[in-house]
Amino acid sequence: LQFPVNPDFNADSQEGIGYYQVTQRDGRRWSSAQAFLRQVEGRANLHIITDARAERVLMNGKSTVGVAFRQGRESKKLKLKPGGEVLLSGGTVNSPQLLMLSGIGDRAVLRHNGIPIVHDLPEVGQNMADHLDVTIMNAANSRKPIGVAASFIPRALGGLWSYIFSRRGFLTSNVAEAGGFVQSSPDRDRPNVQFHFLPTYLKDHGRKLAFGYGYTLHICDLLPKSRGYISLKSSDPMADPLIQPGYLADPDDLKTIIAAFKIGRRILDAPAMAAHSAAEVHPGPSVQTDDEIAAFIRDTAETIYHPTGTCRMGADAESVVDASLRVRGISGLRVVDASIMPSLVAGNTNAPTMMIAENAADMILGKVGTLDANAA
């Protein structure tokens, strides 16, 4: 299809098809907790509390003084020492929820939920953006993919042996190494579509078994115009927040995903891939027209876990955090997670979020100044 091969998506050009870099070590997925936390968890000045849930930030006027949390049935409080700070890292969903539970947010939302107003900050929870994803699945004409079938058991046992004793083999795979970035139309000035290819069936994020041998192509709109929000259902900190992602609220987003879906089909129908296909099984050959593709997208599209923006960083007074990630109008409180992104990055959010944390650590230690609110 004349898409360029790209050996490094983090180099000068993002466009093309290739292998992704992954957070992995010795054949295992390596989380940020393993990479950063495990090596320092023995420090005397670090206390890790698990099986607990933050309830709210404790305030004295507009100064942060601690955190209230619940562990089991018991409510507890952590008080800050003089000069200390609270860093919220609850993510795009829970950081704005905690701010609102603490009385920081839109006045109307706080009043509706009976929460005393500490600081009226209407953009808390707003500006939510996420990558919407749709999949195509083909049945394979061989047993080359990773399959859920009795005939796969010998290969699975061999893979388990290789993984246990040498950390090699297909069980070291994140199952989505291959993919790439393309433009949904020639008038785009940068890639706005991302692909993840999986040499197996993946149905409902793996929650549902799909028997047999097949492969899946994930198709993602990287630069959606639609925006949603996070709000409160209740003042109860144990209650789930109200999540309204606003997918496809802007009609241009549906047009983009339809175009991207057609490109995905072209990839799977190209000779090199078609040689492995028995048939398209999801959505299948009955879905052809734009209206049929649109209906399929509305019925099946889902998050690919990249929500951002609900505690937007900015230079303007309406933004939730400033360029040092401090919550505007409040002292001693920062937000350090993907919720501070002013706009959604055109790619996975995992590495950028870790870099936000790296920069925040340097700012707290006085090693650097501020982040650039316009960099995204």
Residues marked active site are found at 306
Closest of 61, 115, 90 to residue 329, by C-alpha:
61
How far apart, in Å, are the Cα atoms of 112 and each of 5, 117, 155, 235, 252?
A: 54, 11, 58, 9, 34
* Residue 309 in tokens: 């923006």
Closest of 291, 298, 308 to residue 348, by C-alpha:
308
Cβ atoms of residues 253 and 264 within 8 Å? no
**What is the rounded CA–CA span in Å between residue 221 and residue 306?**
11
Judge residue 246's burial from the number of C-beta atoms within 10 Å of its C-beta, 0-12 exposed, 13-18 middle, 19 or more buried. Answer: middle
Residue for token pair 């400033």: 322
**Percent of the chain that is helix, strand, coil (3-state, to 5):** 25, 25, 50
